[in-house]
Amino acid sequence: MKYVLFFAFFAGVVLLSACGKKQPVVPEQAPAATLLPPGAAPGASPEPSQDDAEKAKKLAALDYATMEDQYLNDPHAQWASSASASSTFGDDNGAKPSDVNVATNVIGAVDGNSWSNNHQDVGIDWLKVGFDKPVYATEIRVVFVGGQGVEAVSKLEVQDAQDQWVTVWSGLSDVKADPRGSRTWFVKKFDKTKTPTKAVKITIANAVQPGYKVIDAVQLVGE
């Protein structure tokens, strides 16, 4: 009987010892490394193919053409019918500037003819344009060739029938040169004017975007 009790006691001790032992920890398997093509940086997206890049370029051009077509054929928009400017490229010391740079080139629709100012980074320049039909204006669109000067626009004013000028926008331009096309449209919407607008004045701070400013056309939107 003693032997039986001793054996049972010994077996219980062994069992408790086994239960108290820590089980070996199996290390987690690291995820398999992703094989990258030669020369590719980790986390980098694969380079688009030449066909993909060409397609993206054409889609961007299509978006630009669609946007521009809406502006060009807007039934509520009219083009400037007269123009004058503070300076013209080539008018130093009273010299007569070339016809390719004069303010009257902005009259009418977009056509590639343009006005260029005579200052790259000095002072303030302005362009004034008149319209045949005075309207309660809600938007002004200025077309810059290649985006030259679009970042330097600092103020837009409208003139009423009593020749009073009212500022409808001023500040720092948030428009950058549009890489999708050869022109950049500076577009600003504002609350409808209280009186009909017959002219627009575009003020340019030359130092904001050094270089000559080149404008092709100006649109006034309203009814």
Residue 3 has pLDDT above 50, yes or no: no
Which of the two residues, 2 and 177, has the higher pLDDT score?
177
Please state, in angstroms and rounded to a whole number, the distance separating the CA atoms of residues 93 and 101: 16
Quote the tokens at residue 8.
């049972």
Under 8 Å between Cβ of 118 and 88: yes
d(Cα 109, Cα 216) in Å, to the nearest integer?
8
For residue 177, with 0-12 CB atoms within 10 Å meaning exposed, 13-18 middle and 19 or more buried, which class applies? middle
Q: Kindly report the CA angle at 201 between 200 and 205, in degrees rounded to 5?
A: 150
Domain chopping of the chain, boundaries: 64-222
pLDDT at res. 47? 79
pLDDT of residue 159: 98
CB environment 59-89: b (16+ within 10 A), e (fewer): eeeeebeeebeebeeeeebbbbeebbbbbbb
Confidence of residue 223 (pLDDT cuts 50, 70, 90): very high
Q: Whole-model pTM?
A: 0.77
- Looking at every residue in the chain, the average pLDDT score rounds to 87
pLDDT at position 194, please? 96
pLDDT class of 207 with cuts at 50, 70, 90: very high
pLDDT for 120 beyond 90: yes
Kindly list the strands in the beta sheet with 165-170, ordered across the sheet, starting from the edge strand earlier in the chain. 82-85, 124-135, 197-205, 153-159, 165-170
pLDDT tens per residue, range 47-97? 778 888 889 999 999 999 999 999 999 999 999 999 999 999 999 888 899
CA distance 9 to 14: 9
Encode pLDDT of 123-138 as tens digits. 999 999 999 999 999 9
Residues 156-204 have pLDDT tens digits of 999 998 999 999 999 999 999 999 999 999 999 999 999 999 999 999 9
Task: Tell me which fold the domain 64-222 belongs to.
Answer: Jelly Rolls (2.60.120)
Q: Residue 106, Cβ neighbours under 10 Å: how many?
A: 25
Which candidate, 174, 175, 163, places its Cα nearest to that of 201? 163
